[in-house]
Amino acid sequence: MLVLWLADSNLDAPTVAWSRWDGTGERRTMAGDETEPPYPDGLAALRDGWRLFQASSLLPHYPGTETQTSYLKYEFWFEQLSEVPA
Amino acid sequence: MNAARRLSTREVARFVARGFLEFPALTPSDVNEQYLEEMGRGAIPEVAAGTPLSLAYPEGSALARLYSHPEVAAIIESLVGADPFVDHHFVHLTLGEAQRTGFGFTDPLPSQHWHQDSTIDTRQGFDLQIMWYPHEVVLDMGGTRFLPGSHLRIVSEAAIGRYQNIKGQRHVVCPAGTMLVLHHGMWHGGGSNVGPSMRHMVKIRLNARVPQVRLWDDSDLTDKDFEQQPIFWALQPRADNDLHSILCENQPWYEADTHRLEFVNRIRLFRYLLGDDSFDADYWCSRLEFGAGRRNEAASGTREL
């Protein structure tokens, strides 16, 4: 699994944060383990064979909280299937 | 009042903007070594939540010497006032290879997930979190990871654990005796210690007992700091240490739209600390308040410098 958080809602916006989990067990990942994102933007991940299956919605701002900042806003989930030995 | 120099307006503004200040090698080696010796024999006391700092630690102990160190005391006074309450302290130990072997395992423990301490907190002021490193921290020790500029994001503690890496994240690597002071909202987490030695970090959370208004040395504040300058189409470079530029410093992980909201929230916090709602930096709040009469009020009002 690959999750990219981008600078705006366009898939070609720059990556600002990222996470990876490897279900094959070949690689262990954890918080703070990298300094550079694996892809500069979401489109680069698509071009490298990742399948986008979810993107965060654009929601209206709840009255009274318009200037509040919170979780990273532009979240894109990708998957890639790998063969593993039986 | 403490004899050491309190923070300047610029330093406080930087704290408001970034959520932390760092002071490398602040405490002397005898205090650092005394702490490690006390820790080694289990002599770090428990402290009841809400105890005044002046009563929290036995006289002459390493932690009493830490908070009464003139420069440390001046930093604390500048941000949360003299003799704040100790909310809690915690001794963070990250096992090195020698300790892991002693416990019967070899693989380094994974890093801690990103989190914000305590719980959802919407107060105007802030608690101060001291992170003190009594020995040198090198890269393989997994020094505390933290995210500059994250402190004003309203999130729920470990809900941010999904994020692994964020542009601009920092890992503490520092000489012995280094102290970081952080806004309570700072996103952070302990790193993975892949080195041979134990890593120690002391965290002390302090609650202000007084309004956090102009507790610092504000003698560097001038009328010019309250004046607006050209924005966007600005042809002249800003002066070094320009207050508005300090408050409106961007971070590489901010979204294209949210960095402006961060500026608004920083300005609101700085207004509270300044005790002056007429202050604005680069017009971010004035624009939103147009029509509420604020501009006229600010233009005709007097202010205390």
| Rounded Cα distance, B212 and B128, in Å | 11
| Rounded Cα distance, B38 and B44, in Å | 6
Share of chain B above pLDDT 90, in %: 91
pLDDT tens digit sequence for B179-238 = 999 999 999 999 999 999 999 999 999 999 999 999 999 999 999 999 999 999 999 999
| Rounded Cα distance, A85 and B219, in Å | 70
- Phi and psi torsions of A26, nearest 5°: -80, -25
Tokens found for residue B259: 């960095």
Mean pLDDT over B124-128 rounds to 96
pLDDT exceeds 90 at position B291: no
pLDDT tens digit sequence for B15-58 = 999 999 999 999 999 999 999 999 999 999 999 999 999 999 99
Beta-carbon contacts below 8 Å between A and B: 95
The kind and range of the H/E element at A4 are strand A2-6
Q: Which residues of B touch A8 (CB under 8 A)?
A: 255-257
Q: Which of A15, A2, A1, A5 is nearest to A72 (CA)?
A: A5
Strand partners, B137: B174
| Rounded Cα distance, B141 and B39, in Å | 18
Q: Is the dihedral of CA B154, B156, B161, B162 positive or negative?
A: negative
A32 with B154: Cβ contact below 8 A: no
Measured in whole angstroms, the distance separating CA A75 from the mean position of its chain's CA atoms is: 5
pLDDT tens digit sequence for A11-61 = 999 999 999 999 999 999 999 999 999 999 999 999 999 999 999 999 999
Q: Which residues of A touch B258 (CB under 8 A)?
A: 69, 73
- Phi and psi torsions of B180, nearest 5°: -110, 140
A16 with B166: Cβ contact below 8 A: yes
Q: How confident is the model at residue B4 (pLDDT cuts 50, 70, 90)?
A: confident
- Phi and psi torsions of A15, nearest 5°: -75, 130
Alpha-carbon dihedral angle through residues B100, B106, B107, B109, given to the nearest 10 degrees: -10
Judged on CB neighbours under 10 Å (0-12, 13-18, 19+), B23 is: middle
| Minimal CA separation from B73 to chain A, in Å | 32
Using CA atoms, how far residue B138 sits from A37, B23, B182, B301, B302, in Å, is 24, 16, 21, 52, 51
Q: Helix, strand or coil for residue B224?
A: helix
Q: Would you state the pLDDT for residue B295?
A: 54
Question: Is the separation of the CB atoms in A45 and A23 below 8 Å?
Answer: no
Contacts of B288 (CB under 8 A, 6+ apart): A67, B264
Measured in whole angstroms, the distance separating CA B76 from the mean position of its chain's CA atoms is: 11
pLDDT exceeds 70 at position B149: yes
Q: Which of A38, A30, A28 is nearest to B171 (CA)?
A: A30
Q: Would you state the pLDDT for residue B253?
A: 98
| Rounded Cα distance, B116 and B188, in Å | 6
B252 with A16: Cβ contact below 8 A: yes
- Phi and psi torsions of B137, nearest 5°: -115, 120
B165 with A35: Cβ contact below 8 A: yes
| Minimal CA separation from A69 to chain B, in Å | 5
What DSSP character marks residue B217?
Answer: B
pLDDT tens digit sequence for B60-113 = 999 999 999 999 999 999 999 999 999 999 999 999 998 999 999 989 999 999
- Phi and psi torsions of B53, nearest 5°: -55, -35
How big is the CA angle at B248 (ends B294 and A74), to the nearest 5 degrees? 105
A33 with B261: Cβ contact below 8 A: no
pLDDT exceeds 50 at position B300: no
The kind and range of the H/E element at B213 are none
Q: How confident is the model at residue B294 (pLDDT cuts 50, 70, 90)?
A: low
Mean pLDDT over B119-140 rounds to 96
A74 to chain B: closest CA residue: B255
| Minimal CA separation from B232 to chain A, in Å | 20
- Least confident range of A47-56, B102-111, B268-277, B288-297: B288-297
